[in-house]
Amino acid sequence: MWQANIFTSFPDAFPGSLGVSLIGKALKRNEWCLNIVDLKKFPAHNDRIDSYPYGGGVGMLLSPLTFEMAFNSLNSSSENERIFSENEQKFKRTQKFKRIYFSPRGRQLNQKDLADISQSAGLTVLCGRYEGVDQRILDYYKFEEVSIGDFVLLGGEVAAMAIIEGCVRLLPGIVGDQQSVQNDSFQENLLEHDQYTKPSVFKNIAVPEILLSGNHQKIRSFQNDLSKMITMKKRPDLWAKYVQDNMKLI
């Protein structure tokens, strides 16, 4: 069972959006497991989990001692964890998952990263708050710093939900129609084509005629061309990658 371990000082943020819809149902059916470790349960200095930065500066940093205790708790059965899975036996007390720390300083993750993570046994996430964390936590425990965009959030919780949702939807059996996962935007560096439903004319705008033709071969080819045009226009960076990967085919 794929598992996400999350270190956070705001455990009540979870499961949040991970508890609803297809992903929430899959969580209840034990098709994946969410393990929340509350950093506040591991105070290091004067009952605090954070401290002032050496050298001055605004805000407080997560103490490496707090993180060490929280991390070690992964290996022992502890009431500090809230495991969102009814089947404790399937829960993995492993520390070997890929580790990511959310920060605007990090590399932006892409669909290929999520596919790789979803094919592994699980993911360990550290959510920062306030000014951040002591750098030695990231260096010693080998966390990769990753961002979800060039903007600043208050903390990593929302970013964690986004990445975990992206990984879990790729697990086999989570999305009923596997075709829709295969048609994802970013699959092969192409964005998804436009889509339409009833009515065939809305505010005087008609659905492209070919979609009503019933000729599936022509429809696929139309949609494929549309995907290419949209990618070229909206994401020239992705289009350049597509052209490079398909040089021989074009």
Question: Looking at the annotation, which residues are catalytic?
Answer: 104, 131, 169, 184
Q: Which two tokens stand for residue 31?
A: 């098709």
Q: Which stretch binds ligand ADE (CB under 6 A): 14-22, 48-56, 118-126, 144-152?
A: 144-152
Instruction: Assess 151 for contact with ligand ADE (CB under 6 A).
Output: yes
> Whole-number minimum distance, CB 111 to ligand ADE, in Å?
17
- Would you give the binding string for ligand ADE spanning residues 100-139, x where CB under 6 A is met? --xxx-----------------------------------
CA distance 163 to 113: 10
| Among residues 152, 201, 247, 249, the one that binds ligand ADE under rule CB under 6 A | 152
Minimum separation from the CB atom of position 8 to ligand ADE (A): 12
Q: How many residues does the chain have?
A: 250
Cα–Cα distance measured from residue 199 to residue 193, given in angstroms and rounded to the nearest whole number: 19
Cα angle, residue 142 at apex, residues 158 and 122 outer, rounded to 5°: 55
- Which residue in the set 159, 164, 190, 191 belongs to the binding site for ligand ADE (CB under 6 A)? 159
Q: Which tokens in the block code for residue 166?
A: 């992206």
Q: If binding is defined by CB under 6 A, does position 156 make contact with ligand ADE?
A: yes
> Is the Cβ of residue 153 or residue 181 nearer to ligand ADE in the bound state?
153
**Sign of dihedral through CA atoms 46, 49, 51, 54?**
positive
Closest CA to 157 of 114, 137, 128, 135: 128
Residue nearest to ligand ADE (CB): 102
Closest distance of CB 128 from ligand ADE, Å: 6
Query: Of 98-106, 206-214, 231-239, 240-248, which part binds ligand ADE (CB under 6 A)?
Result: 98-106
Instruction: Give strand pairing partners of 147.
Output: 108
Q: How far apart are CA 83 and CA 72, in angstroms?
A: 16
Decide: is 149 part of the binding site for ligand ADE (CB under 6 A): yes
- Given a contact cutoff of 8 angstroms between Cβ atoms, the answer to whether 166 and 114 are in contact is yes
Pairing of strands 132-133, 144-147: unpaired
Query: Rounded to the nearest whole angstrom, what is the least distance from the CB of residue 19 to ligand ADE in the complex?
Result: 21
> Which of 144/225 has CB closer to ligand ADE?
144
* Residue number with CB closer to ligand ADE (118 or 147): 147
Amino acid at site 227: S
Residue 10 sits at the vertex; the CA angle it makes with 4 and 15, to the nearest 5 degrees, is 45
Q: 31 or 50: whose CB is closer to ligand ADE?
A: 50
